[in-house]
Amino acid sequence: MTDIPAVSVVIPLYNKGPYIARALNSVLAQTFQDFEVIVVDDGSTDEGAEVVRGFDDPRIQLIQQENRGVSAARNRGIEAVRAELVAFLDADDEWSTEHLRTLLRLRDSYPEAGAYGTAYLVKEKDSKVHVASFSDDIPQEPWEGLLPSYFKAATFGDPPISASTVAIPIYILKEMDGFSTEEWMGEDVDLWGRIALKYPITFSWNSKGIYHTEASNRACNRVEPLGEAVFVRIAKKAIDAGKVSPAMLEDLREYIALRQIRRAWGNIHAKRPDIARNLLNNCVTRKFIRKKYWAIFWACMPSNVYKSLRSTKKIFTETMHKAQKNCLNIFKDRRTYKKTE
């Protein structure tokens, strides 16, 4: 190992005290050990910073700043890195032991790529763990290589890369000016999209990280109004300027459309159907016409009507799940009783 590490790991931290030790231990357990870890505490009010200080490893550096958001925290970490390759990990997620080795192998095999990502497991609140639902456009496991189409894969499946399983060369991060601080939601996929407009993206089924959806204090659980996504604006300008290749154009347009529809639903939930209608009016799609007009239907409903119907649907769904579970338990009890007769 040299004075300059082979890879820098950036971990943004905000009120994730119960989880940060798990994340750090998963980094320290890597089979590849030539790394540094930069944890940026973004004004946490819990014990997270103290947990980090409790790790007796000189490779771990803690930076503290006033609360400015996850993008600002990641960007502060990027400023401090020394390696040419930067890997990211959220404070409530974790890696498998071969993760860094896989990312470095991808970098060595595909130096022309703008980002290197791996598949990941999703852990739900019920403790079940499953592989993310990736698009069929990605060749089947154990394939790894350059994605045939990042935007198609991201449109018809879970994102092929995530903020906890991606590594990006430092020169790419500087070229892109890091993560956008304009938004609190989707700032990571904004960066992946900007990179994918100019560079190929790699993917590997090996060394899956674990994305914990059961953790508390997750930004995606916030319900607040949002305008058009930063990347959508950038992508539209690139299309209008003729900077998008014909091979990418259709996939990019459908990706934009799906982002608009999903953001519209976020605004419907946040009681801003006016913003939702504006987003949907500017949504052009061939693949998601039904999704678009279903969202328009609800965006034209009064917010109190939508909230009431949504609550009724939730109660009905929960009741049905409980009834199904009770029926299954009764069936199991009867089978057990018959076996003991």
Please give the C-alpha separations between residue 177 and each of 76, 180, 207, 283, 296, in angstroms, as whole numbers.
12, 8, 29, 28, 35
pLDDT tens sequence for the chain (341 residues): 458 999 999 999 999 999 999 999 999 999 999 999 999 999 999 999 999 999 999 999 999 999 999 999 999 999 999 999 999 999 999 999 999 999 999 999 999 999 999 999 999 887 789 999 999 999 999 999 999 999 999 999 999 999 999 999 999 999 999 999 988 788 999 999 999 999 999 999 998 899 999 866 555 556 688 899 999 999 999 999 999 999 999 999 999 999 999 999 999 999 999 999 999 998 999 999 999 999 999 999 887 777 677 666 555 556 655 656 666 665 555 555 555 55
Q: Which residues of 61-99 are buried (b: 16+ CB within 10 A; e: fewer)?
A: bbbeeeeebbbbbbbbbbeebebebbbbbbbbbbbbebb
What crossing angle do the helices spanning 273-281 and 289-299 adopt, rounded to 10°?
A: 150
User: DSSP per residue over 207-240, as a string?
Assistant: EEEEEESS-SS-GGG------S-HHHHHHHHHHH
Phi, then psi, of 219 in degrees rounded to 5: -60, -35
Cα-Cα-Cα-Cα torsion 182, 184, 188, 194, nearest 10 degrees, comes to -20
Instruction: Report pLDDT for 224.
Output: 85
Instruction: Report pLDDT for 1.
Output: 47
Instruction: Report pLDDT for 45.
Output: 96
Q: How many CB atoms lie within 10 A of CB 205?
A: 17
Residues in the chain: 341
Structural domains of the chain ordered from first start: 7-221 (3.90.550.10), 230-301 (no CATH)
Instruction: Report pLDDT for 116.
Output: 98
